[in-house]
Each structure stands twice: as C-alpha cells, then as structure tokens.
C-alpha cells in the first residue's frame, strides 16, 4: 500500500466574493428540507444527506460546470501530495458558499437536525425551550468541532472520467478568516473541520472509500465504500481525526463532485 499523503497542506486566507466567479445557476428545484436527513454512516465520522440536490438541478449543474475552464491535475504530485488524477476547477466564492449553506437544507440539518432524537415530533416544542436550544448548540459544537458558521468559500469542482482517481490521503483542517455573512456580519477567525462532497452524478466505480484504523480488537477493519449517487452530500471529519480515504478509479461514465468544507468559529 503506498504511503498515504496529505492534501491541501497550504494555509489559506479567504477573500471576499470573487468578481470573476462563475454565474452559478440557481439552486433549484430542491426537495423540501423536512424530507431530508443527515444519516450517520459512521457516527461522529461520516454523514450522508441523500437527495440533497435534486436530479434535475444536478443535471443542469453538470452542463454548466462542463463549460468552466477545468484543468487536468498532473499525475505526478508534488512531494507530500496524494496522487490524484482528475479535472478540476477551483474558486474563492463566498457568495456561492453562502448560497450552498443557507439556500439549501444544509444549515438547518447541521445546526438543528443532526441527531436522531431531533427527528421526533416534539422537535418544534423543544427548540422553543431556551435550555434545549443551549443544549443543542453545545451538542453541535461537540460534533462539528466548534460553532458552525457556514461553508469554506474555497469551492472545488472535480470531474473524473474513466481511469481517473484520487489516491489515498487525509484532508487537513485549514485556518481561515470567515468572510462577513448574514449570520456573522464581521470577518471571523475560523477553521475547517469537516469535508463536504456533493456528488452530482452516479457512475461506475468512483467510490469514496474510507479506511478505519486497525485496532487490537479489529486488526483488519472492513473499508467503508460510498458509491457516488446523484445529488447526495457526504460530510466527513477532517484534520487530526480524519480517516484515510480515497476516490476509487472511475470505470465508466463521469463522476462530478462539488467540494467545500464545514467552517466553525476558532
């Protein structure tokens, strides 16, 4: 097995909305937020939101993204970088990050509906109780590694065609200055704690595969394989507690992914 590498090792500062940012299509149609849920695949490590974006929205996005100037990542990585072969587009776009956070179910799921108990019928009564909402905020900070502010304006688009892949690696946490947003009117010291992947297509192969650390009790744990599913979002913990993972080789069709990160206050 090749030595796992780190990615995104350079610290980055966020910039305000980029004037050269793409004219992103609206995030519509969307499924009603109440029909969506944050489902644990591995508690405290990997969560899924099925149908986070609708099929028609994904289709529309893929045709739009295909018109952007994607560049092929060379197969020869810099020292200490994971081997990755895909076509990418990267942009600092705080406005789009805010659109993805507040203009979808994400903000509500991450800040209010992230535990099984919160799906019960008493939810509305609970959230009106100040003691309950303090407890909820405390539990959110525990799971997400701090108070969730939004998404990393560093937006990355990946296209993997047949034969392309992203080798085994860990995702690093980055310190950023979170730009002013409706919830945080001033620039706020922040850091990324979870990776957000949104699959815009299904394909053959291309699974995101996570490798749990071997333990004494389980020296040979089964890898956790997530096949790309149109419109599904995946959140996984990164930084110190990141699991080793990879984007398996695509064997048929195209895998399109939109990547950002969850940002919390420092």
Q: Name the residues that contact ligand AKG, by CB under 6 A.
A: 7, 158, 166, 171, 195, 197, 208, 245, 247, 257, 259
Please tell me the count of residues contacting Fe ion according to CB under 5 A: 1
Structure tokens at 242: 């990141």
- Chain residue at closest Cβ approach to Fe ion: 171
| Shortest spacing between CB 169 and Fe ion, in angstroms | 6
Considering only CA atoms, which of 189, 151, 194 is closest in space to residue 171? Answer: 194
Q: Determine if 171 is a binding residue for Fe ion (CB under 5 A).
A: yes
- Rounded to 5 degrees, φ, ψ at 126 are -55, -45
Residue number, 46 or 106, with CB nearest to Fe ion: 46
| Shortest spacing between CB 257 and ligand AKG, in angstroms | 5
Residue number, 140 or 197, with CB nearest to ligand AKG: 197
- Chain positions 25 to 84 lying near Fe ion, rule: CB under 5 A, are none
Distance CA 154, CA 260 (A): 6
Distance CA 41, CA 45 (A): 8
| Shortest spacing between CB 12 and ligand AKG, in angstroms | 14
Considering only CA atoms, which of 191, 151, 177 is closest in space to residue 13? Answer: 177
| Shortest spacing between CB 226 and ligand AKG, in angstroms | 8
| Shortest spacing between CB 97 and Fe ion, in angstroms | 18
Residue number, 57 or 196, with CB nearest to ligand AKG: 196
Q: Residue 111 CA to chain centroid, in angstroms?
A: 15
Residue number, 87 or 171, with CB nearest to Fe ion: 171
Q: Are 209 and 224 in contact (CB under 8 A)?
A: yes
Residues 6+ apart with CB under 8 A from 76: none
| Shortest spacing between CB 165 and ligand AKG, in angstroms | 8
Considering only CA atoms, which of 196, 202, 259 is closest in space to residue 230? Answer: 202
- Chain residue at closest Cβ approach to ligand AKG: 247
Q: Is the peptide bond before 29 cis (omega within 30 degrees of 0)?
A: yes
Residue given tokens 């959140």 in the structure block: 235
Residue number, 191 or 245, with CB nearest to ligand AKG: 245
Q: Determine if 87 is a binding residue for Fe ion (CB under 5 A).
A: no
CA 116, 130, 181, 15 torsion: positive or negative?
Answer: negative
Residue number, 113 or 245, with CB nearest to ligand AKG: 245
- Chain positions 111 to 170 lying near Fe ion, rule: CB under 5 A, are none
Residues at the site binding Fe ion, with contacts judged by CB under 5 A: 171
């Amino acid at each position: 097995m090749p030595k796992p590498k780190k990615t995104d090792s350079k610290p980055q500062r966020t910039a305000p909305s980029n004037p050269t940012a793409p004219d992103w299509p609206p995030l519509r149609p969307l499924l009603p937020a109440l029909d969506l849920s944050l489902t644990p695949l591995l508690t405290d490590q990997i969560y899924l939101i099925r149908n986070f974006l609708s099929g028609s929205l994904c289709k529309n996005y893929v045709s739009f993204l295909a018109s952007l100037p994607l560049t092929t990542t060379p197969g020869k990585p810099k020292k200490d970088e994971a081997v990755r072969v895909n076509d990418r587009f990267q942009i600092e776009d705080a406005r789009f990050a805010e659109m993805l956070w507040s203009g979808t179910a994400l903000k509500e799921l991450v800040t209010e509906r992230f535990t099984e108990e919160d799906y019960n019928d008493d939810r509305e009564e609970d959230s009106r109780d100040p003691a309950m909402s303090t407890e909820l905020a405390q539990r959110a900070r525990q799971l997400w590694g701090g108070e969730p502010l939004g998404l990393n304006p560093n937006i990355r688009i990946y296209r993997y065609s047949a034969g392309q892949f992203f080798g085994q690696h860990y995702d690093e946490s980055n310190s950023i200055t979170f730009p002013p947003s409706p919830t945080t009117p001033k620039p706020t010291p922040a850091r990324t704690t979870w990776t957000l992947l949104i699959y815009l297509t299904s394909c053959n192969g291309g699974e995101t595969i996570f490798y749990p650390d071997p333990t004494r009790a389980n020296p040979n744990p089964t890898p956790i394989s997530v096949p790309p599913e149109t419109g599904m979002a995946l959140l996984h913990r990164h930084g110190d507690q990141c699991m080793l993972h990879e984007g398996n080789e695509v064997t048929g069709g195209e895998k399109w992914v939109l990547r950002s990160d969850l940002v919390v206050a420092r």
